[in-house]
């Protein structure tokens, strides 16, 4: 392969620690894996001598696969040691290519004795960890209340909204998690709390004042920028000297204010806006010209007010507030220490660790010199992927396992977007600085050649980020080391498009009259939908084919900063415009349909008297009651609670017997599981539910069926994990599920399965991916600064940063720590947003489109600062403001044909949705049949699917479940979705007035099912009693008169007059419509499955079985089949014999009794045959 110079350096440089700064699309994984292969070939370094750390398990698996493929390719080359390479392939699976957590776990299991940990420890999941944390907090609070700890109670109340102790618990929890991302958490905590007891002798020269001064100076610089723009506009509009003098005074006043900030902070604090800005004079300007100048001046004045409001009290007040906070901070410190003790004890009792524990324990082991030497001896080289996302604890571990010059790190600080996981991009930047100090054993390689994106887009991205990304906002200057270099040679014109969308629906015709009712976001989505439909079928360059082809839906990816909250609107609107969309949505696991269904069923098993849950379970696929049936039950009774209605309904006489039996069956099932729950483990109970109901089959047939089934299997795993450290049984597990639901534990991502659909995802999800066309929507959305409003903020340098809340005097004031933390946090948030914007824009290969809502585009542009500076970027509120500052050179509004700016790399549109609607309708009218096409890949895929033959085809004919009646002719079964369905007659047949023989047989069967045998026992006139009961059935509308008129009642008379009928009447016990399940090997059912080890759950309902006076079991099965002669009857009996054998086996299993006689009753012939 032809490597670039920087790629070759990364692969071939020896005897140095390497830091590879790899820009987007520069092939960092290829470099890492090829370097490993080179070291294996040239130095004979075995694969198990590499420690390779990845960010995710999926990345580790992917890296192993890439290395495997490279090894196989090297085997084919001459002069390579094939035996050696095959050995490396065979050892690849056990190679140390994993996440850092996996490495830590392996270290702990080997050196557990050094950290006093059970080597059989388990990793606790987040839900169970939260349960234990809550238990630890309860222990902490109970202890403090019992001791009447006034300091703790006062601090808790001060930092709890409406005296809600949960608020204070959440603050403690946040501090706890934060400190655990430091190598020495409690040392760090103690040092930061002790700052509140400092005498602050030199506060004027402290980092606090430096942070505040820098922020204020930024505001003043921006105010000067706007005042300068106001003056420029006044001159352009030929204002007179009165106004120009005022504007010059503004500029002088702001410059003097900057001097005071630097040289006399005490005097600066006393300043007011009126000291700088005098009364405005029109200067001969009128109308819009006057308004424009005045608006810019007002913007400058507002910015000055913000600057002066940052610091409003003197040094003595600052120090007094800090000292007043010291007791509160000491209370919090001790609470965290005690909580950790409680929590650690609970985890130790359960034999579990969290991932953060594994990092700290591994670090502790590595502090033992002997253990560290042993670990160091195992690895010749250490590789770290995605290094920009490392945290401080992980960095400490990495530094403990490396030698003088054997570290290879690769990443891109511009793509560090996991701050919420405590990723520290400064670690990456500090290593660059440190490498410069000693370049004999260290080297930084900048890999910036992008092979993904066409030249025009690369140039546009560079132009934008050179202006807006800096150390202040982004953590790094976008200079020659960071600038992307186009690696593709094609000269393809493709400008970055910015679409500003106006919501002006006047004149929209009936084609989309509801447009005026749509929200801002819905209008933007509609605009994008229309734009996509315009793109489909147009030409796009394909660098792999090296030719143009037609645009498909799957070429397009829409990105959003917060995709999860937008997907519903996107799908609804895209559906309207016939646009298929694939989305990945992190769902809340315990709120999924399948888990909610199981949880509700478990709740009813545990407590039947919960009406809402009971109704949910009845409507679920487990019992499948219709709304009409639920209403019928309620209307038939007059009970206040639904569970009482159920119990009343089954004891009433004049009700729908079919529905009554359905309810009875449900109660029987619930009671059975309720009994089992007393002696069965929760995992076994759930497993039984899966096996004995149709719930898993039902869920698998729904959209995302495979994911739903996986979720259900995961629930079993969670149940096992729960039982491993809890003995509270079903009740406890239900509470666990409720807790997990409140905690909103994430579950599997749902993704629609479509090979040609538009992708919709968050920027985070898109990292590492690429698409021919990328649309970044929602660029107007303001950045989320909610974290700066917390009562206590946290910062790695400043420490704990609280407000002082005085409940007695009812006031709240920010400490100097909090003031600085808000400033720093604001910059941290903006820096991460800058890196997210970089990630989003570098996903595109051929076309990049940015969309934003713009209420007033002219005002947007007029209000942009005249010069782009790090401060103007810092004080922006959205991607849109950054983009417009970076693109527009003169910040002056000009528009022609809906275009407000265009150059070689950018084009900015100012559009209304109705304009695009008109364009789209015109394109539809002009579209010709030959515009439609089928991609060759799609055609080939269809052909492959049609010709595909599964090698284990026999296994696909084995159902998971089967009705007994279907097994008598198993070789003729039709299997769909692995379930054998016994279908009812179609409705058009059911509604015939003349009944078939089978339908007549079904009526007789039903009468046998509901007839009261006890009444037959007590009468001497069987025939008269049967007539009486049938009349009652008709009166109760259990059967219809016309149905009775269509059957021969003599069949019923004759049955009860037969020997078998008489035995039934005088039997000890009677079982009618008895359901059962049997798990049988498929090979025991059919010869064609003789080689399979699969199991079939055989299900059936036994029509009638009874126990005679002498204890014998008699089996009777009613059949509606018709036959014309003895030969046909024999064939039928042969098949029925197989069926009855399953029934006998079921009775033997269920009742531990053997069947003495079994009979087939041919209802249509009124004949009984023993089989």
Annotated binding site: 22-29
Tell which residue, 788, 821, 875, has the closest CA to residue 219: 875
Q: How far is it, in rounded angstroms, from Cα 222 to Cα 210?
A: 18
Long-range contacts of 695-700 (CB under 8 A, 24+ apart): 695/594, 695/597, 695/598, 695/620, 695/621, 695/622, 697/960, 697/961, 697/977, 697/978, 697/979, 698/621, 699/593, 699/594, 699/597, 699/621, 700/977
Q: How far is it, in rounded angstroms, from Cα 383 to Cα 393?
A: 17
Residues 987-1000: b if buried by 16+ CB within 10 A, e if exposed: eeeeeeeebeeebb
How large is the greatest C-alpha to C-alpha distance in the chain, in angstroms? 124
Q: For 170, which DSSP code?
A: H
Q: How far is it, in rounded angstroms, from Cα 294 to Cα 296?
A: 5
Residue 759 phi, psi (nearest 5): -90, 140
Q: How far is it, in rounded angstroms, from Cα 411 to Cα 908?
A: 33
Task: List beta partners, residue 852.
Answer: 500
Structure tokens at 118: 């059970």
Q: How far is it, in rounded angstroms, from Cα 405 to Cα 401?
A: 12
Distances (CA, A) of 1149 to 823, 963, 1078: 74, 17, 9
Alpha carbon 373 to its chain's center: 41
Contacts of 1020 (CB under 8 A, 6+ apart): none
Contacts of 440 (CB under 8 A, 6+ apart): 16
* Sign of the CA dihedral with 178 first, then 183, 185, and 188 last: negative
Q: How far is it, in rounded angstroms, from Cα 450 to Cα 409?
A: 19
Long-range contacts of 612-618 (CB under 8 A, 24+ apart): 614/642, 614/643, 614/646, 615/642, 618/666
Tell which residue, 891, 893, 854, has the closest CA to residue 869: 891
CB-CB contact of 220 with 300 (8 Å)? no
DSSP codes of every residue in 80-149: S-HHHHHHHHHTGGGSEEEEHHHHHHHHHHHSGGGTT--TT-EEPPHHHHHHHHHHHHHHHHHHHHHTT-
Q: How far is it, in rounded angstroms, from Cα 346 to Cα 129?
A: 10
CB-CB contact of 9 with 445 (8 Å)? yes
Count of residues for the chain? 1171
Instruction: Give the residue numbers of the binding site for ATP.
Output: 22-29
Q: How far is it, in rounded angstroms, from Cα 788 to Cα 778?
A: 23
Q: How far is it, in rounded angstroms, from Cα 105 to Cα 97?
A: 13
**Locus of tokens 């950054």:** 882
Distances (CA, A) of 104 to 420, 505, 839: 22, 60, 30
Strand 50-54 and strand 442-447: the pairing is unpaired
Other Cβ atoms closer than 10 A to 252: 12
């Amino acid at each position: 392969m032809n490597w670039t110079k920087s790629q070759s350096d990364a692969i071939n440089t020896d005897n140095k620690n390497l830091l590879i700064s790899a820009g987007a699309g520069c092939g960092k994984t290829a470099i890492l894996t090829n370097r490993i292969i080179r070291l294996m070939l040239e130095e004979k370094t075995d694969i198990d001598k590499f420690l390779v750390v990845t960010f995710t398990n999926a990345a580790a698996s992917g890296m192993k696969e890439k290395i495997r493929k490279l090894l196989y390719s090297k085997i084919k080359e001459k002069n390579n040691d094939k035996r050696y390479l095959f050995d490396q392939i065979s050892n690849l699976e056990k190679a140390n290519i994993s996440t850092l957590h996996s490495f830590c776990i392996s270290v702990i299991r080997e050196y557990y004795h050094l950290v006093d940990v059970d080597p059989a420890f388990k990793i606790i999941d987040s839900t169970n960890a939260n349960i234990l944390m809550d238990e630890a907090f309860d222990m902490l609070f109970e202890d403090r209340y019992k001791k009447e700890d006034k300091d703790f109670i006062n601090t808790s109340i001060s930092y709890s909204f409406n005296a809600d102790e949960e608020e204070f618990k959440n603050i403690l929890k946040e501090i706890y998690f934060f400190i655990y991302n430091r190598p020495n958490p409690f040392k760090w905590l103690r040092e930061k709390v002790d700052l509140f007891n400092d005498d602050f002798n030199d506060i004027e020269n402290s980092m606090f004042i430096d942070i505040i001064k820098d922020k204020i100076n930024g505001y003043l610089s921006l105010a000067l920028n706007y005042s300068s723009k106001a003056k420029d506009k006044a001159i352009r509009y030929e204002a007179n000297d009165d106004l120009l003098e005022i504007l010059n005074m503004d500029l002088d006043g702001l410059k003097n204010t900057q001097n005071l900030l630097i040289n006399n902070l005490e005097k600066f604090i006393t300043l007011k806006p009126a000291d700088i800005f005098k009364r405005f004079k029109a200067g001969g300007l009128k109308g819009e010209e006057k308004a424009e100048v005045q608006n810019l001046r007002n913007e400058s004045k507002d910015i000055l007010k913000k600057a002066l409001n940052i610091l409003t009290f003197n040094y003595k007040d600052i120090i007094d507030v800090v000292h007043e906070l010291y007791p509160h901070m000491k209370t919090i410190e001790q609470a965290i220490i005690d909580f950790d003790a409680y929590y650690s004890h609970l985890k130790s009792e359960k034999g579990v660790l969290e991932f953060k524990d594994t990092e700290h324990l591994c670090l502790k082991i590595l502090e033992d010199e002997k253990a560290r030497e042993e670990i160091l001896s195992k690895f010749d080289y250490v590789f770290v992927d995605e290094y920009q996302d490392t945290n401080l604890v992980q960095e400490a571990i990495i530094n403990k396992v490396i030698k003088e010059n054997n570290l290879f790190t690769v990443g891109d600080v511009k793509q560090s977007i996991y701050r919420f996981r405590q990723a520290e991009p400064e670690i990456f930047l500090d290593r660059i600085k440190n490498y410069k100090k000693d370049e004999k054993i260290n080297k930084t390689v900048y890999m910036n050649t992008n092979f993904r994106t066409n030249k025009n887009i690369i140039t546009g991205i560079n132009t934008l980020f050179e202006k807006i990304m800096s150390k202040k906002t982004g953590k790094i200057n976008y200079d020659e080391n960071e600038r992307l270099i186009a690696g593709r040679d094609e000269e393809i014109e493709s400008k970055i498009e910015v679409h500003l969308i106006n919501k002006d629906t006047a004149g929209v015709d009936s084609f989309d009259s509801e447009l005026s009712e749509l929200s801002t976001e819905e209008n933007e989505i509609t605009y994008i939908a229309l734009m996509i439909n315009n793109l489909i079928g147009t030409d796009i360059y394909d660098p792999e084919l090296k030719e143009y082809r037609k645009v498909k839906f799957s070429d397009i990816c829409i990105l959003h900063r917060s995709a999860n909250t937008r997907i519903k609107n996107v799908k609804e609107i895209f559906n309207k415009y016939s646009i298929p969309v694939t989305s990945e949505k992190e769902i809340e696991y315990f709120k999924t349909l399948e888990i909610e269904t199981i949880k509700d069923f478990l709740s009813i098993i545990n407590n039947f008297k919960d009406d809402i849950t009971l109704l949910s379970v009845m409507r679920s696929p487990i019992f499948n009651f219709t709304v009409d049936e639920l209403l019928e039950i309620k209307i038939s009774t007059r009970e206040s609670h639904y569970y009482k209605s159920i119990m009343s309904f089954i004891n009433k006489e004049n009700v729908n017997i079919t529905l009554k039996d359905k309810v009875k069956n449900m109660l029987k099932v619930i009671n059975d599981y309720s009994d089992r729950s007393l002696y069965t483990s929760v995992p076994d109970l759930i497993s039984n539910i899966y096996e004995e109901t149709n719930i898993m089959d039902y869920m698998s047939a729904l959209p995302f069926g495979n994911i739903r089934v996986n979720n259900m299997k995961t629930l079993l795993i969670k149940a096992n994990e729960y039982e491993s450290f809890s003995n509270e049984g079903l009740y406890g597990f239900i509470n666990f599920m409720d807790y997990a639901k409140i905690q909103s534990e994430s579950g599997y991502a749902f993704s629609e399965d479509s090979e040609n659909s538009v992708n919709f995802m968050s920027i985070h999800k898109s990292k590492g991916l690429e698409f021919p066309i990328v649309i970044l929507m929602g660029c107007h959305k303001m950045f989320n600064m909610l974290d700066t409003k917390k009562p206590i903020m946290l910062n790695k340098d400043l420490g704990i940063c609280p407000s002082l809340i005085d409940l007695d005097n009812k006031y709240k004031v920010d400490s100097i720590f909090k003031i600085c933390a808000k400033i720093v946090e604001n910059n941290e948030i903006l820096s991460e947003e800058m890196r997210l914007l970089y990630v989003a824009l570098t996903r595109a290969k051929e076309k990049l489109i940015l969309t934003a809502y713009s209420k007033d585009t002219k005002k947007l542009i007029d209000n942009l600062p005249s010069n782009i500076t790090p401060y103007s970027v810092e004080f922006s509120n959205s991607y849109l403001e950054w983009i417009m500052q970076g693109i527009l050179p003169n910040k002056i509004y000009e528009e022609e044909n809906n275009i407000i700016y265009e150059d070689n790399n950018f084009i900015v549109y100012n559009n209304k949705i109705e304009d695009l609607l008109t364009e789209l309708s015109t394109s539809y009218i002009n579209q010709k049949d030959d515009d439609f096409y089928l991609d060759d890949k799609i055609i080939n895929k269809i052909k492959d699917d049609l010709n595909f033959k599964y090698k284990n085809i026999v296994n696909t004919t084995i159902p998971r479940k089967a009705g007994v009646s279907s097994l008598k002719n198993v070789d003729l079964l039709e299997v769909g979705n692995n379930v054998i369905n016994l279908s009812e007659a179609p409705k058009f047949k059911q509604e015939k007035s003349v009944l078939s023989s089978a339908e007549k047989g079904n009526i007789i069967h039903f009468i046998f099912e509901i007839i009261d045998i006890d009444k037959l026992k007590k009468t001497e006139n069987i025939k008269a009693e049967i007539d009486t009961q049938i009349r009652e059935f008709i009166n109760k509308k259990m059967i219809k008169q016309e149905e009775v008129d269509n059957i021969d009642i003599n069949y019923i008379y004759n049955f009860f007059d037969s020997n078998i009928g008489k035995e039934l009447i005088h039997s000890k016990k009677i079982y009618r419509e008895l359901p059962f399940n049997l798990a049988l090997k498929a090979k025991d059912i059919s010869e064609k499955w003789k080689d399979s080890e699969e199991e079939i759950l055989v299900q059936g309902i036994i029509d009638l079985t009874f126990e005679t006076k002498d204890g014998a079991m008699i089996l009777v099965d009613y059949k509606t089949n018709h036959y014309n002669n003895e030969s046909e009857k024999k064939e039928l009996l042969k098949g029925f014999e197989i069926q009855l054998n399953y029934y006998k086996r079921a009775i033997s299993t269920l009742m531990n009794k053997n069947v003495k006689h079994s009979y087939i009753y041919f209802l249509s012939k009124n004949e009984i045959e023993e089989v």
